[in-house]
Structure 1
Amino acid sequence: MPSTSKSHRSSAAEQAPDLSITADDEVHLHAAGYNESSEREVINSMARFRSSPLDFIREVSLHVSGTGWRSYDDVIGQPIFYNGFSENMKSMVLKNPMLVKKVRDLADWRVQVEAKEGLLGEEVMNGQARAGNSDKKRKRRIQIEESLLEVCETMTDNMICKMESKRFIRGAYYLATQLLTRAYHQGVHVSSEEVLRLRAVAAKAAKAKQAIIFLPCHRSHVDYVSLQIICYRLGLALPTVVAGDNLNFPVVGAFLQHAGAMWIRRSFGDDQLYQTLVQAYIDTLLQNGFNLECFVEGGRSRTGKLLPPKFGILSYMLDSIASGRVADAIICPVSTQYDKVIEVESYISELLGQPKPKENLKDFLSSSSILSLKLGRVDVRFHEPWSLRKFIDEQQGRFSRLPRQLDFKDQRARLLRTLGFKVLSDINDVSVVMPTALVGTVLLTLRGRGVGKSELIRRVEWLSERVRAQGGRVAHFAGLPTSVVVERALEVLGPGLVGLVPGLPEDTFYAVDRFQLSFYRNMTIHLFILQSLVSAALYTSVKQGGSPSQQRISFTALRDQVSFLSQLFRGEFIFPTEGLEQNLSKTLATLEMENIIKVTRDPNNSEIVEWVELSDQERAQGRENFDFYCFLIWPFIEAAWLGAISLLMLTPPVGRKAEDSWLPMKNVQDVAQVLGKTLYHQGDLSYFEAVNKETLKNTYQRFEEDGMILVAKSKDKKTPATIRLADEWLPSRDAKGCVKAEGPLWAFAERISISRREGKNRRDGATVQTRVLSLADRVGTELWEGGNMTATRDKEAESAAAKAKKRRGKTKLAVPASRL
């Protein structure tokens, strides 16, 4: 396809017709998703037994008999629905040369161990060349190989998907469509342009016997259901879906396995046989051109934004191609967006520290009871597919041009990381911003308690324009007034999230559950992350008050703070790859063009920026645009500050040596959440969503990478990971035993704090300093009394300390040289 600019592609895609997938005999093509006729089609197309028993029976019979398109006969892809498919797949996996070799190697290793330990007889142990010794070894090796193959056969049977009955698939499609369109009453929508392109790519791949690897984002269990429905209805071969075996519970597990799920363990550990078996199965699927689906983020995002890529299964797919065992596969990044995500309430409970319940049939059925709610629609968007082989060749070509040649391990790690973040970037490129995300974002980026309806509509229109200007896409409005779109979004969000103040001259709305609404706000932040970081850096001067000239910031100071923040959030957000200087230059130009900032340049060289400040126009309109960008990033800045302040709890009590002071990681993070809740209710933390387990974990991960904390992890899963502060980050105590507000850790927290939202309780820095330090120290004392791990510290802790020391020699987060 000819290359086009992102904004042009976005505009073209937004104007392309939508296809709505319903339970009708036809796929509905319409100019946009939000129109009266399409909604009625989606709702009324579903025959209900009570209201129309004859139509209901007719629909069921058509699906059972496979009439028309329901037969699923003319499928683009490799044949999978035939008796014996599962057994054939098992046979191919078990004959995989890599698996056969691994079984032999493990058997040889075991025979050698048994011989060395004298379990095969004294003669064998001493290596005496008596007749019968080699025969005894051979028989034992065969016995072990047979045993291992039996284990492989059982594991393979439990793992592989078993899509071999078209009648079952037809029934599963009908059931899934009935359930999904009851929950999402406006249906599942795709872009006609993207679907036509995907079908063309699929047809070409099928001829070459190449697999399409669908890599969707993951926000809900509905993700894989919607993709399977789309593939079925549009005549594409259903992909095998990589799924965690936590969903493999009675009844539901077997159903999903026959509908396309392949079950894998959540953790492979050091099980070499299982690792090889997974690789063998993926090789077999790709070698035979069977489509595959894997969630690049691993688990579901509990925060609404994309999570960093997980490289587990992705590495197996990459190795299949890079090794040459598979010629090529086609990568297709997929974005799935919802007006409302069914599981959000449970996500909030988890983020606030409640343990994630184990999946079971009872919870599955109870969660399905909400499928009668009207949750709006699902929008699925497909990025232009691309060759994985071509990607690998291009990256390896770049590696060959580097000044320093990378070894195989470094090349593989860089290749995998680049692949993961490219897929996430592609997903962001095609993501559609839903009306609920627009409304939720507006409500959480206003200074007032509430907002009038007319102002809400105006800001939604403004935000829609900004999304498009950033190359993003907004869900189709079909020419409907924004007021109607806003009303529908408010209806879907419901009074539990957005409240209405009664008895006022104008309808006034306010955020009831800010934490839950933040899930929808986070669906837009990736579009504005650069503007948000620059605004947060500029805010360090704006918050000082005074005349406009006193609120400006030098370019050097701005750049340093943007660099610091981008380094701090490198695991939270996906930044453009052009580097700090280029990204900063473009962002300043954009903000200047929008008349949000005013830039003063060197009189002798217009390319050199000297000062940055708010424009007069932005001040005149109450800083609403500047504030919008700040409000987007402030909760994350708060969370990072909380993470830094919580490290003060790790200051060892008086008389205890730092090197012998380890605490359970889980305990520390749990107590950090309690500290955050306390700071929020006492007014020292502005955002309750900052008390977020997921963001806190990411923050601690960054601290570990930069050598601020040392983490010791045992190979034994029953032994908890332990944590302590690195020596150079340890705060000191005064004569009274209190933690001092000095040293690198306190300076680091203060560096974050200067970009935090100003609050009335924080204007007196000395008071806050005393209060926060005292609280952190007090909570830390209780933590030490309840969870000191000095007695259980092992050699792994020493190893962690040594590795962290090497990392600290390479990275200094407090004085970063980062790239956006």
Structure 2
Amino acid sequence: MAPSPPSKTSTKTKAPTTALPPSPSAPDLSILAGDQVHLHTAGYTETPHPSDTVPTERNLVEQMARFRQSPLYFLREISLHVSGTGWRSYDSVIGQPIFYSGFSEAMKERVLGSPMLVGKVRELAERRVEIEVLEGLLGDGTDADGDGKRRRERRKRIEESLMEVADKLTDDMICKMESRSFIRGAYYLATQLLTRAYHQGIHVSSEEVLRLRAVAEQAAKDKRSIIFLPCHRSHVDYLSLQIICYRLGLALPTVVAGDNLNFPVVGSFLQHAGAMWIRRSFGDDQLYTTLVQAYIDTLLQNGYNFECFVEGGRSRTGKLLPPKFGILGFLLDSVTSGRVEDAIICPVSTQYDKVIEVDSYINELLGQPKKKESLLEFLSASSVLSLKLGRVDVRFHEPWSLRGFVNEQQKKFSQLPQQLEPKEARFRLLRTLGYKVLSGINDVSVVMPTALIGTVLLTLRGRGVGKSELIRRVEWLSERVRSQGGRVAHFAGLPTSVVVERGLEVLGPSLVGMVHDLPEDTFYAVDRFQLSFYRNMTIHLFILQSLVSAAMYTKVKLGGGPENQRISYDELHDQVHFLSQLFRGEFIFPTEGLDANLAKTIEGLENDNVIKVTSSAEDPNIVEFVELSDMERDSGRENFDFYCFLIWPFIEASWLGTMSLKMLTPPVGYTGEVWLDMKKVQDRAQLLGKTLYHQGDLSYLEAVNKEILKNAYQRFEEEGMVIVAKSKDSRGSSTIRLADEWMPSRSPKSGRILPQGKLWAFSELISLSRREGKNRRDGATVQTRVLALADLVGKQLWEDAAAQDKLVDKEEAERAKAKGKRRRKTLDMSRARL
């Protein structure tokens, strides 16, 4: 390997010498301008220039030359890309050949000639003919001699018409990545945009990249596809993975993309750069569904690399979303059906110092309408040409065989005492696949400096924090991340103070403010809602400790002596179980089961001197009581509070969700089953939350997060608390009502909602772990003002229902109830526990 050249730029500061400890992971890979590739020890920072006091780190892609700064080098760089000099030629690609004229047409022919598609067209045509015969449009479908000629001719015309539709749909859908010169130009443009926004470049692990290349070489020989399954936080996800594959000489994957991005100019560009356009919703369109499956089959049968986002859409909250099973189901069916022999799964984590779209995410989460995607909107909203957003870290999990996974799971199913129905077996297989991929993404994710800073600022008591304390807590959190098996972005050679300064610079004064003219620089959270996006990037590492701490808080908040704050193991077990079920759709829990995970978490907290455990006198292996340790009390509960602060906003959101269900209580005089518009209900729930926050009854504005509220309503439906009826019209809105057994009662005299019943008891269980005191009222106010406010906010829903006659017929209501029962049965069989 060639030695690294000295840095031309530096950051000068009188920083302390304290540095983050080196990471034990493999060395970083740095790909520089030109043809040199370098391996460096983990956390490598290049040798400083003699005049520098702090080294400048290397990144995957050097920031490219600017015309104003260096016009000659800028022109030389362009000429090298145009001519395809060296690695820029993209000739020796590991994978199947795609860059030739006519590739797109050849792909269309393969898809349209798929036996599956041809069979579906015949089936649909035959169905249509049968309907026309029944309606008398073809007579009896036969001629006088009974040979059925009219019927055959009609079926043939329908088949031809359907194939014309399929031809148009295929042309609109498939990627048209057939020009190497176009790809070279697209790479140059994409890298220019990305390095302008993320000025510290793209970072990867050398070990992971070398392993991926070896897998890709074998996959190319076996004509196997590599299916990249990244997390999805930004549109930049597309660019970063394509740039890495290009620079490392791997065949670019076909990327599944929603057709909402297929707007003028950009849509055509992306389609020729690898995008495969699909509808956001397929509905009951059997032809289109079969067409998508046929295209995916064709790609995998021929060994073309593939990429889709396992979460479906972008995460607006910063943490992983539950898996979506649409495209994942197509991939699984390709292999389980035998149409594709095997494919290689590669989970990918993409982490950012700062996400370009986070401002628009916050607006959406606070209830503002989502803006339509456009080129002008993307460039203006992100100011992509002038931002300095730090760095991008991309990590690749060890690839594994999809066929091997299927065989392993089917073997487990065969050993069950009762054999599964095919539909249930497929659901279990698909669900296990989705969560296995998400778990793999979490395993290789790195925590960025901005996530460390955001987490610290949102988990400290008080208005602000001094710089020295901020640095200390960032170091503490980095060590806690590593102890949990997580990874911190490599900065081994830099003092922690410099890492913090870089992170603060990227976050900017709109998120983190600084108070000047004090003995020490003091920082505070300006926009806590937006900072929560970065905090949520770390929460998965500490979710078990957070749930145990929140359960302990039911006693700790009572105050008094240590004996008064201890909690019995049975009480702890029950509250942790309740909370883990409450958040089963929010977080990914280990699969060992509640008892094993609880025991492991208690042991870990005890070893960290956060808690003290009292065991049974008869059996030391039996835990009787758990309480805070003396050391934790002496330290001001900073570790215990840290875990509580992580989970409290989610507890608040769930509590708000239950309070908003009170709005579904029919006013006095309403009879029958009245169904309310789901979207309007959730909008009013957000309005209720904002009112409670500003009036002091809700501690966290994050609790009104639109996505978290949606997840809460999803859990309420799974538990049978509410019944949801889907509209027969795909464009129509779903409707909702409370299940009878969860319906609150009203006072016969005043007509007010009474604080009693099953729904009230459920909300009280959540409230046990809510944060006390800070920024909210406590006590009887919930029983009076909050219930009255819920009734007031919900009044508009009932007025709208009366005006629009939102009555659902009995048949539709029964279908919704039956569906709810089936979902709860399925949930009980495959419930995700702590």
Mark yes or no: TM-score above 0.5.
yes
Matches within 5 A, 1:53-64: 53-64=71-82
Map of 1:356 onto structure 2: 370
Map of 1:3 onto structure 2: none
**In 2: Cα distance, 1:716 partner to 1:58 partner:** 58
Matched residue type, 1:428: N
Q: Is the 8 A contact 2:45 2:58 kept in 1?
A: no
Which of 656, 659, 674 in structure 2 is aligned with 1:661?
A: 674
Which range is displaced more, 790-799 or 440-449?
Answer: 790-799
Map of 2:67 onto structure 1: 49
Q: Is 1:793 the equivalent of 2:793? A: no
**In 1: Cα distance, 2:437 partner to 2:370 partner:** 28
Q: Is 1:804 the equivalent of 2:814? A: no
Q: Is the 8 A contact 1:21 1:189 kept in 2?
A: no
Structure 1 residue 718: deviation in Å? Answer: 3.0
Which of 88, 105, 128 in structure 2 is aligned with 1:110?
A: 128
Which of 659, 671, 687 in structure 2 is aligned with 1:674?
A: 687
Q: Is the 8 A contact 1:21 1:187 kept in 2?
A: no
Q: Is the 8 A contact 2:696 2:777 kept in 1?
A: no
Q: Is 1:289 the equivalent of 2:303? A: yes
Q: Is 1:695 the equivalent of 2:708? A: yes
Which of 727, 740, 746 in structure 2 is aligned with 1:727?
A: 740
Which of 148, 171, 180 in structure 1 is aligned with 2:194?
A: 180
Structure 1 residue 373: deviation in Å? Answer: 1.3
Q: Is the 8 A contact 2:229 2:307 kept in 1?
A: yes
**In 1: Cα distance, 2:574 partner to 2:91 partner:** 61
Map of 2:658 onto structure 1: 644
Matched residue type, 1:16: A
Deviations 1:20-60 (A, max 9, x none): 45654444543326666654788974211122211111101
Matches within 5 A, 1:256-655: 256-367=270-381, 369-655=383-669
Matched residue type, 1:745: L
Map of 2:771 onto structure 1: 757
Q: Is the 8 A contact 2:22 2:492 kept in 1?
A: no
Q: Is 1:147 the equivalent of 2:161? A: yes
**In 2: Cα distance, 1:38 partner to 1:316 partner:** 45
Structure 1 residue 135: deviation in Å? Answer: 1.4
**In 2: Cα distance, 1:502 partner to 1:532 partner:** 34
Q: Is 1:19 the equivalent of 2:29? A: yes
Q: Is 1:30 the equivalent of 2:37? A: no
Map of 2:15 onto structure 1: none
The 1:807–1:424 alpha-carbon spacing in structure 2 relative to 1, beyond 3 Å, is closer
Deviations 1:76-117 (A, max 9, x none): 110011111101100100111100100111111111111221
Q: Is the 8 A contact 1:328 1:387 kept in 2?
A: yes
The 1:422–1:585 alpha-carbon spacing in structure 2 relative to 1, beyond 3 Å, is same
2:622 counterpart SS class: strand
2:148 counterpart SS class: helix
**In 1: Cα distance, 2:319 partner to 2:729 partner:** 32
The 1:704–1:359 alpha-carbon spacing in structure 2 relative to 1, beyond 3 Å, is same
The count of aligned residue pairs is: 803
Considering fraction of residues, name the structure with more helix: 1
Map of 1:683 onto structure 2: 696
The 1:681–1:431 alpha-carbon spacing in structure 2 relative to 1, beyond 3 Å, is same
Q: Is 1:220 the equivalent of 2:234? A: yes
The 1:779–1:812 alpha-carbon spacing in structure 2 relative to 1, beyond 3 Å, is farther
The 1:480–1:38 alpha-carbon spacing in structure 2 relative to 1, beyond 3 Å, is closer
Q: Is 1:819 the equivalent of 2:833? A: yes
**In 1: Cα distance, 2:358 partner to 2:537 partner:** 13
Q: Is the 8 A contact 1:92 1:284 kept in 2?
A: yes
Deviations 1:679-732 (A, max 9, x none): 001111101111100000000000001100010001302321100100000000
Q: Please tell me the root mean square deviation across aligned C-alpha atoms, in Å.
A: 1.9
Q: Is the 8 A contact 1:470 1:527 kept in 2?
A: yes
**In 2: Cα distance, 1:521 partner to 1:12 partner:** 23
Structure 1 residue 582: deviation in Å? Answer: 0.3
The 1:267–1:43 alpha-carbon spacing in structure 2 relative to 1, beyond 3 Å, is closer
Map of 1:7 onto structure 2: none
Which range is displaced more, 133-142 or 582-591?
Answer: 133-142
Q: Is the 8 A contact 1:66 1:170 kept in 2?
A: yes
**In 2: Cα distance, 1:123 partner to 1:46 partner:** 72
Deviations 1:711-769 (A, max 9, x none): 00013023211001000000000021000000010111110011000015766411332
Matched residue type, 2:709: L
Matched residue type, 1:566: S
Matched residue type, 2:93: V
Structure 1 residue 625: deviation in Å? Answer: 0.2
Which range is displaced more, 24-33 or 569-578?
Answer: 24-33
**In 2: Cα distance, 1:321 partner to 1:774 partner:** 56
**In 2: Cα distance, 1:209 partner to 1:295 partner:** 23
Which of 94, 108, 130 in structure 1 is aligned with 2:144?
A: 130
Q: Is the 8 A contact 1:452 1:507 kept in 2?
A: yes
The 1:635–1:651 alpha-carbon spacing in structure 2 relative to 1, beyond 3 Å, is same
What 5-or-longer segments of structure 2 have no aligned partner? 1-20, 47-53
The 1:24–1:810 alpha-carbon spacing in structure 2 relative to 1, beyond 3 Å, is closer
**In 2: Cα distance, 1:808 partner to 1:61 partner:** 62
Q: Is 1:86 the equivalent of 2:101? A: no
1:610 counterpart SS class: strand
Deviations 1:404-423 (A, max 9, x none): 11010000000000000000
Which of 765, 775, 779 in structure 1 is aligned with 2:793?
A: 779
1:270 counterpart SS class: coil
Which range is displaced more, 32-41 or 247-256?
Answer: 32-41
**In 2: Cα distance, 1:810 partner to 1:515 partner:** 35
The 1:41–1:550 alpha-carbon spacing in structure 2 relative to 1, beyond 3 Å, is closer
Structure 1 residue 175: deviation in Å? Answer: 0.5
Matched residue type, 1:530: L
Task: Give identity over the alignment, percent.
Answer: 75
**In 1: Cα distance, 2:430 partner to 2:520 partner:** 54
Q: Is the 8 A contact 1:212 1:292 kept in 2?
A: yes
Q: Is 1:232 the equivalent of 2:246? A: yes
The 1:33–1:525 alpha-carbon spacing in structure 2 relative to 1, beyond 3 Å, is farther
**In 1: Cα distance, 2:334 partner to 2:546 partner:** 40
Q: Is the 8 A contact 1:22 1:188 kept in 2?
A: no
**In 1: Cα distance, 2:590 partner to 2:618 partner:** 31
Which range is displaced more, 15-24 or 198-207?
Answer: 15-24
Q: Is 1:706 the equivalent of 2:719? A: yes
Give the alignment's TM-score, normalised by structure 1.
0.95
Matched residue type, 2:477: L
Which of 198, 203, 211 in structure 2 is aligned with 1:189?
A: 203
Give the alignment's TM-score, normalised by structure 2.
0.94
**In 2: Cα distance, 1:410 partner to 1:374 partner:** 49
Map of 1:8 onto structure 2: none
Q: Is the 8 A contact 2:96 2:251 kept in 1?
A: yes
Map of 1:98 onto structure 2: 116
Q: Is the 8 A contact 2:31 2:62 kept in 1?
A: no
Q: Is the 8 A contact 1:173 1:229 kept in 2?
A: yes
Deviations 1:593-646 (A, max 9, x none): 000000000011111100000000000000000000000000000000000110
Structure 1 residue 771: deviation in Å? Answer: 1.3
Map of 2:8 onto structure 1: none
Matched residue type, 1:108: E
Structure 1 residue 786: deviation in Å? Answer: 2.7
